[in-house]
Amino acid sequence: MTSHATSARPRPRRAVRHLLVGLTVALVAALTPAVATAPAQAAPTLLSQGRPATASSSENAGTPASAAVDGNTGTRWASAFSDPQWLQVDLGARATISQVNLLWEGAYGRAFQLQTSDDGATWTTIYSTTTGTGGTQNLTVTGAGRYVRMNGTARGTGYGYSLWEFQVYGETGGSTPTCGSTNVAQGSPATASSTQDAGLAASAAVDGNPGTRWASAASDPQWLRVDLGSTRTICRVTLTWEAAYARAFQLQTSADGSTWTTIYSTTTGTGGTQNLTVTGSGRYLRMYGTARATAYGYSLWELAVNTTGGTTEPPAGTTDPYNPNLGPNTFVFDPSTPTSTIQSRLNTLFTQQETNQFGPQRYAVLFKPGTYTADVNLGFFTQVAGLGMSPDDVNLNGHVRTEAFWMGGNATQNFWRAAENLSVTLPAGQTVERWAVSQAAPYRRMHLRGAQNQIQLWNGGDGWSSGGLIADTRIDGLVVSGSQQQWYSRNSEFGNGWTGSVWNMVFQGVVGAPAPSFPNPSHTVIAQTPQVREKPFLYVDGSGEYRVFVPALRTNSTGTSWYNKTPAGSSISLSQFFVVQPGTSAATINAALAQGRHLLFTPGVHHVTEPIQVNRADTVILGLGLATIQADNGSVGMRVADVDGVKVAGLMFEAGTTNSPVLMEVGPSGSSASHATNPTSLHDVFFRIGGPHVGKATNTLTVNSDNVIGDHMWLWRADHAASGVPTGWTLNTADTGLTVNGDNVTMYGLFVEHYQKYQTIWNGNGGRTYFYQNELPYDVPNQAAWMNGSTRGYAAYKVADSVTSHQAFGLGSYSYFNVNPAVVEERSFEVPTNPNVRFTNMVTVSLGGVGTINRVINNAGGTANAANQTVYLTTYP
């Protein structure tokens, strides 16, 4: 994480302060929904007492699982001190469950689910919370099964989970689930190992039309796979073969699309229509053919799947686009709202969030079209946005600002906040708007009115700020960078220009940009933006309907997409979105995606224990209030298929305490389809390894698809902190921030910091990066712990030796090896020597002279160390 100390010296210098953690909680209770405590309507029977109980772990022999179902409130089960943990009771027979009572000891579950199962393997969530209160919780539920468990994902204390009693009430004699008649495969995403031609696609076998079919290439093996959207208990599969059928094949299921379990196998397939009774569960089902019965390929008119009890998750409900539920932490104002009410809410949120950089609270403040008077001072994890089609549809007379008084004027930790889609008119007699921010704080699609006004990105008198974004924004007056150390401005308009520079200022497609002059002053200017799509945004139309506007792809663009012009793009009613509330399971989210819904994440921390799987082209996933997806139990947070035009915007991905292989993956390994005319794009997508708790992920973001666009991203590993926030070389472990395997991938405004090996690895051809900010890991214990073979340390940006074309502009890499200042990084940029691999305008800095970067790129450029802290290089090769 970037951090600086205030300095009165005119020459830029950075020192480090520990992170200050303000976990203000006074208002949380008022903003947190109460736990349901209503009793069951009928007199239920206590079913769990004395039944066999098992658990994921026990603290010791005196706290076994059985103690939670023995009816003795003086004995208890207690788990190991880690997440996740579970306690399970076998009721002996299927039962209808109406109430579960949890009698917690002091060590309680803050986030947990209650789940039922018929087989002890496939689980249905019947209750979920991330705001558990401990004490005695009497929870009214609706569910059925033989097994019931408490599945804890986040502890409320530093100890384990501890229950005096786990009481399950209900009525026995529930019927065994029967095999349903609904074809859950119909309309679901389908893929195949091959297709005979474009008219015989995999999707034709699950379209419900017996006149269309999938056909494979004429070779063995071949497969057809369908994604059911969530884990299902599968009881029957019907295969309707065309004449080219399988003599030998298996039916297989999988939870993740990678590891498969065979639930049916034959070497004497008959063709025709085969109704096969099976027993198995999984999200994915495939027909895996190993021997054809004819000289042709495999050909299916239809593949149908039936399940017991339907989906394990409820179907996605409808969204009222005129009165949507945007969650308890979204505040929507209209011009009739009293000014005092608006300002009181803004003040309350700022008081809570000013220092709350590691708390779970997230907020969005939205203004419907109109004119307001308000002073918006943004704290952590707060988004302010207009709901107009144009920023000028909402005008705030006042301020939208970020200060740094909480750190004595040091703005180097002002992260995780956003201002979007608003116009601002400053009060009479005032001409300065402060936007003193560092990473992950976009100022996007804004209009600061008045040619006499200026926006200040901080100033030397108050301290330092370190990195940010202005995009698709009109500033009528002057932009003053002051002591801002690096900044990226894209597709914006500065009426009275820009003044100031420290290390690395990059301007792309900006009207009113300063003249190129790197390194003195350090201005990198790129006239146009080759291909970009602006971030999707929520707005309200003239009828009062909430919609999401998806801007069109622009090529070789300059200036904003909206000022004095009509924005190009498409509009989607919010009725087509599934609005995700905290506590919603990944299985439910995936079921909504499988139904063709887009996603709107409401403010909060959304825990997932399986990947959110985006399979449909042109899906829009939009977060409000920096909504956060936390990958628990070693899960992947999100996977995007190798399809056209997915847009992911306004989200943060957080690592859990169990190591994840990757937090987000765009395209599976081996993706090769071209998306040149409709690329997937990521906008204001941020990643965090550690901070509020220990976090672990081997890789953070992996891009396998071609033609992906990254539009402002910060990938960060926690390597230094204070006030009880866990950090350390062996605690928050993460090898790599960004890995790019796809071709023709473009990154605009890329921030990657503190990873333990390469910060960024680029394996694909045709890549381009415009503005790169990096800090190396602070907490390297010694040189031996940070060796890449015989090379000292790992490069901040590694282009693979096999790459033949790559371009990068405006790159900065900084060292602060404060645990051991003797540590050396051999070079910050490591690339193949090739005339088509070109790097333009680079800077390396030894912050305060603590640690050494020996070379800028390969063996070129000087040494940054205590004697010579800043080194510039304009071109390579």
- Residues designated catalytic: 775
If one counts every other C-beta atom within 10 angstroms of the C-beta of residue 203, the result is 16
Nearest CA to 200 out of 100, 301, 286 is that of 301
Tell me the two tokens of residue 176: 């065994």
CA distance 771 to 807: 11
Residues 375, 343: contact at Cβ < 8 Å? Answer: yes
| Sign of the dihedral through C-alpha 202, 206, 212, 218 | positive
Tell me the two tokens of residue 235: 């009881």
Three-class secondary structure of residue 204 per DSSP: helix
Half-sphere exposure of 712 (CA within 13 A, CB side): 29
Tell me the two tokens of residue 158: 């530093």
Tell me the two tokens of residue 719: 């390597």
Residues 391, 447: contact at Cβ < 8 Å? Answer: yes
Tell me the two tokens of residue 351: 């008081």
CA distances from 589 to 111, 225, 314, 332 (A): 18, 20, 10, 25
CA distance 408 to 403: 10
CA distance 164 to 45: 19
Tell me the two tokens of residue 581: 């509330």
Tell me the two tokens of residue 70: 């023995």
Peptide bond into 521 cis (omega under 30): yes
Residues 247, 293: contact at Cβ < 8 Å? Answer: yes
Tell me the two tokens of residue 634: 């070693």
CA distances from 292 to 271, 289, 372, 660, 777 (A): 10, 7, 70, 39, 55
CA distances from 22 to 110, 245, 355, 774 (A): 20, 65, 5, 26
Tell me the two tokens of residue 401: 């600002």
Tell me the two tokens of residue 621: 């996933």
CA distance 510 to 500: 16
Residues 598, 536: contact at Cβ < 8 Å? Answer: no
Any idea how long the chain is? 877
